[in-house]
Structure 1
């Protein structure tokens, strides 16, 4: 499946085959593509919690207003991010770069994020959003469907997955074999309504 087809056919599926399981190799392929997604300063601050445990999935479903896809999908992925990743051994993000590149970029990371908590949090949301789209398009290319979700109690889900103190949850994606097709598109805006050249 080419990229354009995956983009056109990716839809938010709400009902999955609850008997289907993804293999570890498939999950590794899916998340292996996600970690190629770009991040600011290459800090790779996304963290992916793949939830397969049925009991935990049931608890998350309860915290997600009983949405069926949480327990019916093959996997649930919580896209989280470390808002302090920029300060945690930033040298490692450029360990394979030439020394002259490291000497310029690594010191810039701290000066860019130090004391800017909102910026650091925004960066997590941007990066997990990009990674999430990569996951959904990769899933489609692999023959799977997905559903991005924000409809859940993030505080409760954070407790369930034992989210570390410096982390935040961005959103959740369910992935699996569709049991029902997605509903027809609700009302796509025309390109002319959302695109301008140069300025508003």
Structure 2
């Protein structure tokens, strides 16, 4: 499936076949593609928690408004971000770059993030958002459906997965085989309502 078709056909599916299994090879492929998503300074903030334990899935469903996709999707990914990734051996992120690039980038990372918790969070959330979209489009290209989710108690979900203190949850992404087609699109706004040339009036 080409990129345009994947974008056009991707929909947020709520009802998944609970008996379908995604192979380990397919999961590895999805995650490998997600890890090609861009991140500021190549910090790769994302952490992909694959919730495989059925009992844990049921507990998470309880704090997610009893949404069926939490337990029924073939794959439930809690997409998290490490807020302190910028200071955890940042030389790793540029190990293949030239010495000149490393000499510039490593101090720049420090200057950009140090003492700026809002910047740290904003960049982590942007990174997770891009990774989530990559996951969903990759899943669609592989013949699967998906659903991005933020309808849950973030604190309770964090406790259930033992979220470290310096991490945040961005969203869930459920992936699997749809039991039925998604409802028709609710209605996209016209381009002239959302596209601004140069500046707001």
Cα RMSD (Å): 0.6
Residue equivalent to 1:155: 155
C-alpha deviation, 1:129, in angstroms? 0.2
Q: CA deviation at 1:48?
A: 0.4
TM-score, normalised on structure 1? 0.99
CA contact under 8 A between 1:94 and 1:102: conserved in structure 2? yes
Divergent runs of 4+, >4 A: none
User: What's 1:84 paired with?
Assistant: 84
Q: 1:118-137 to 2 correspondence within 5 Å?
A: 118-137=118-137
Contact 1:52 1:74 in 2 (8 A): no
Question: Offset at 1:192?
Answer: 1.2
Size of the alignment, in residue pairs?
Answer: 200
1:72 deviation in Å? 0.7
- What is the aligned partner in structure 2 of residue 50 from structure 1? 50
Q: Deviations over 1:139-183 (max 9, x none)?
A: 000000000000000111101111111100000010000001111
Structure 1: gaps of 5 or more residues:
none
Residue 111 of structure 2 is matched in structure 1 by: 111
Query: 2: CA distance between counterparts of 1:165 and 1:142?
Result: 35
In 1, Cα distance between equivalents of 2:190 and 2:161? 40
Shift of the alpha carbon at 1:121? 0.4
**1:142 equivalent in structure 2:** 142
